[in-house]
Amino acid sequence: MRTPETGRGWQRVTIWMVVLAALGLSLLITSEAKSYEPTEASPKTHVYMVVFDQMPVVTYNGKILGLRGTAKYFSERWRKTHKRAHVSDLVKKYNAYLIKEQDKILNEFFGFEGCEKVYRYTHLVNGVALSLTDDEAERLAEHPRVERVQKSYRVYPSTVHTPDYLNLHKGVWSQFGGPVGAGENMIIGIVDTGIDPTHPSFTTRGQKLYGPLRKYRGRCDVAKEFPRGSCNGKIIGARFFNAAIKKGGFNASIHFASPLDGEGHGTHTASIAAGNYGVPVIMNGANFGKASGVAPRSRIAVYKALYRHIGGFIPDVIAACDQAVADGVDILSLSLGPNSPPSGSSTTFLNVLDIALLNAVKANVLVVQAAGNEGPYPKTVTSFSPWVLSVAAGVDDRTFRNTMVLGNRQIIKGTGIAPPTRGGGLYRLILAQDAVQGRGDPLLSPSECQSPKLYNNLLVRGKILICTYTFDFVYGGSTMQQLVKTAKSLGAAGVTVVVDSDSSGQKFEPVPLAIPVIVLPTSADSNILLSYYNRFTKKDRKGKILTFGATARIGNGQTITYTRSAQRVALFSSRGPNVKDFNFNEADILKPNIMAPGYMIWGAWTPIGTSQAAFAGQRFAMISGTSMATPHVAGLAALLKWKYPTWSPSALVSAMTTTADVADRFGRPLQAQSPSPDGSPLLQTATPFDMGGGALNIHAAMNPGLIFETGYLDYVRFLCSLSTPREVLGATKMSCPRLAGKPTDLNIPSITFANLVKTVYVARTVTNVAAVAEKYTISITNAPDFVVTANPAVFTIGVGRRNKQTIVFTVRATRASQASSFARITFKGSLSHVIRVPVSVVNKRLR
Ligand SMILES: *[C@@H]1O[C@H](CO)[C@@H](O)[C@H](O)[C@H]1NC(C)=O
List pLDDT tens digits, range 271-324: 999 999 888 888 877 777 788 899 999 999 999 999 988 889 999 999 999 999
In one-letter notation, the amino acid at residue 554 is I
pLDDT of residue 561: 65
Residue 168's pLDDT band (cuts 50, 70, 90): low
pLDDT of residue 173: 65
- Closest residue CA from atom 13 of ligand 1: 251
What architecture (CATH level 2) is domain 706-845? Sandwich (2.60)
Given a cut of 50, whether residue 446 has pLDDT beyond it is yes
Residues having CB within 6 Å of any atom of ligand 1: 251, 253-254
Q: Spell out the domain ranges in the chain.
A: 162-397+565-701, 401-559, 706-845
Rounded to an integer, what distance in angstroms lies between the CA atom of residue 259 and that of residue 194? 5
Mean pLDDT of the chain: 86
Distance of CA 571 to the CA centre of its chain: 14
CA of 409 to the centre of ligand 1 (A): 54
- Closest residue CA from atom 1 of ligand 1: 251
Q: Are 391 and 690 in contact (CB under 8 A)?
A: no
Residue 64's pLDDT band (cuts 50, 70, 90): low
pLDDT of residue 174: 67
Q: Are 653 and 364 in contact (CB under 8 A)?
A: no
Given a cut of 50, whether residue 230 has pLDDT beyond it is yes
CA of 186 to the centre of ligand 1 (A): 39
Among 631, 653, 637, residue whose Cα is nearest residue 192: 631
pLDDT of residue 270: 97
Residue 287 CB coordination number (10 Å)? 11
Q: Are 1 and 156 in contact (CB under 8 A)?
A: yes
Per DSSP, the three-state class of 298 is: coil
265 assigned to active site:
yes
Rounded to an integer, what distance in angstroms lies between the CA atom of residue 479 and that of residue 503? 17
**Complete DSSP assignment for 569-612:** E-TTS---S-BSSTT-PBPSS----EEEE-SSEEEE--TT--S-
List pLDDT tens digits, range 398-408: 778 899 999 99
Write the DSSP symbol of residue 375: T
- Highest-confidence range of 184-198, 497-511, 664-678, by mean pLDDT? 184-198
- Closest residue CA from atom 3 of ligand 1: 253
Q: Are 690 and 681 in contact (CB under 8 A)?
A: no
**Sign of the torsion angle spanned by Cα atoms 383, 394, 660, 274:** positive
CA of 246 to the centre of ligand 1 (A): 14
Q: Are 299 and 234 in contact (CB under 8 A)?
A: yes
**Complete DSSP assignment for 243-272:** TTGGGTT--HHHH-SSSB-SSSHHHHHHHH
581 assigned to active site:
no
Given a cut of 90, whether residue 31 has pLDDT beyond it is no
List pLDDT tens digits, range 583-623: 889 999 999 999 999 988 889 999 998 777 778 888 999 88
Rounded to an integer, what distance in angstroms lies between the CA atom of residue 139 and that of residue 147? 12
Determine the average pLDDT of the residues in 749-760. Answer: 97
Q: CATH topology of 401-559 equal to that of 706-845?
A: no
Residue 624's pLDDT band (cuts 50, 70, 90): confident
Angle formed at CA 370 by CA 364 and CA 374, multiple of 5 degrees: 150
Residue 61's pLDDT band (cuts 50, 70, 90): low
pLDDT of residue 636: 94
CA of 610 to the centre of ligand 1 (A): 14
Rounded to an integer, what distance in angstroms lies between the CA atom of residue 32 and that of residue 612? 26
178 or 627, greater pLDDT: 627
Per DSSP, the three-state class of 111 is: helix
pLDDT of residue 760: 97
Q: Are 163 and 292 in contact (CB under 8 A)?
A: yes
pLDDT of residue 42: 66
Catalytic residue among 152, 161, 192, 298: 192
Q: Domain 401-559 belongs to what topology? A: Glucose Oxidase; domain 1 (3.50.30)
Q: Are 244 and 150 in contact (CB under 8 A)?
A: no
If one residue of 253, 309, 611 were mutated to test the ligand 1 pocket, choosing by the most ligand atoms within 8 A of its CB, it would be: 253
What architecture (CATH level 2) is domain 162-397+565-701? 3-Layer(aba) Sandwich (3.40)
Q: Biggest alpha carbon distance in the chain? A: 98
Residue 26 CB coordination number (10 Å)? 11
Q: Are 262 and 609 in contact (CB under 8 A)?
A: yes
Q: Are 34 and 655 in contact (CB under 8 A)?
A: no
472 assigned to active site:
no
If one residue of 32, 251, 256 were mutated to test the ligand 1 pocket, choosing by the most ligand atoms within 8 A of its CB, it would be: 251
Residue 563's pLDDT band (cuts 50, 70, 90): low
CA of 253 to the centre of ligand 1 (A): 7
Specify the ligand 1 atom closest to the Cα of 252.
1
Q: Are 833 and 703 in contact (CB under 8 A)?
A: yes
List pLDDT tens digits, range 675-729: 776 656 689 999 999 999 999 998 899 999 999 999 999 999 999 999 999 999 9
Residue 24's pLDDT band (cuts 50, 70, 90): very low
Catalytic residue among 255, 265, 268, 632: 265
CA of 617 to the centre of ligand 1 (A): 20
Say how many residues make up the chain: 847
In one-letter notation, the amino acid at residue 318 is I
In one-letter notation, the amino acid at residue 831 is L
Specify the ligand 1 atom closest to the Cα of 251.
1
CA of 251 to the centre of ligand 1 (A): 6
b vs e for 433-445, b when ≥16 Cβ sit within 10 Å of the residue's Cβ?
A: ebbbeeeeeeebb
pTM: 0.85
- Closest residue CA from atom 5 of ligand 1: 254
Specify the ligand 1 atom closest to the Cα of 254.
2
Per DSSP, the three-state class of 783 is: coil
Catalytic residue among 627, 648, 721, 723: 627
Rounded to an integer, what distance in angstroms lies between the CA atom of residue 229 and that of residue 162? 30
